[in-house]
Structure 1
Amino acid sequence: MTTKILISACLMGHAVRYDGQAKPLVHPALDRWRQEGRLVTICPEMSAGMPVPRLPAEIAAGSTGADVLSGAARVLERDGGDVTAVFLQAAENALALAIGTGCSYALLIDGSPSCGSGFIYDGSFSGRRQPGEGVTAALLNANGIQVFSDREIETLAARVEAEAE
């Protein structure tokens, strides 16, 4: 069976980020996986109905995606709007798609309050990073789908290649 990989739409060149931009990731493994039909693309926020562009959002008060999932933290927009429910729905949508399509892995953009897996922003909207996961990454990991950031594509590629042998 071919290993499937859930991937952030922005990494595939889709202009879906909060600022209306993409963050295309160029790597030979992505080209190969695309040809092999392994990639399942999603923008969690768009899947939950958020527009492009949209206000920047961060997990409040130095908390993480796991804190949001447990109800102990909120996701707030720069102007103070509470978008926690939308981010929770976005995570559920990504998990449902990953399970429904048989994804074992996810390759997600780091820094995002949804997709971050190595780092997220600290909720101060000052550009300060902190270690942690976004809401979607935390939910995927909690359900056995291994999450890799865009900076970890070599590690993911080695894992997928090892399974193919």
Structure 2
Amino acid sequence: MRFMRLQPTPARARAHAQAGFTLIELLVVIAILALLAGLVGPAVMERFGGAKTKTAKLQIEEIAKSLDIYKLDTGRYPTTAEGLAALDKKPGSVSGWNGPYMKGGVPTDPWGNPYRYANPGPGGGLEIASYGADNAPGGEGENADVSNGR
């Protein structure tokens, strides 16, 4: 038995030749996707950075509430030397300590750095602060300092 190879009809040959995308079409699609990523990407990253700043503000508020409860129990806020660790472990000879005051311990800021605590702070009251993404004083945007402003 002999097999004969069928030749495609001209209509079938044209349909087969037009079935895929040309290199130019693929390059145009890739260029459009790159343009969209360039326009949308920074806006998404800015939102993500803003979320970290909001998280830091909320965590600072929670730390401040825990410090207020600490003061109700002990009659004073922790000193700068005792720091925020006083919320987890009883410092020295403090009477009335009834902690730990924060479930899960004192958190680090959203950038992985410890919060800064001063009593008295530069403004006279307590200061709880994060130096932002760059972990350095000052800055703008995501690098800006976040504090309780007490």
Question: Higher RCO, 1 or 2 (CA under 8 Å, sep at least 6)?
Answer: 1
Q: Which of the two has greater strand per residue?
A: 1
Q: Which has the higher helix share?
A: 2
**Please, what TM-score do these two structures have when normalized by structure 1?**
0.29
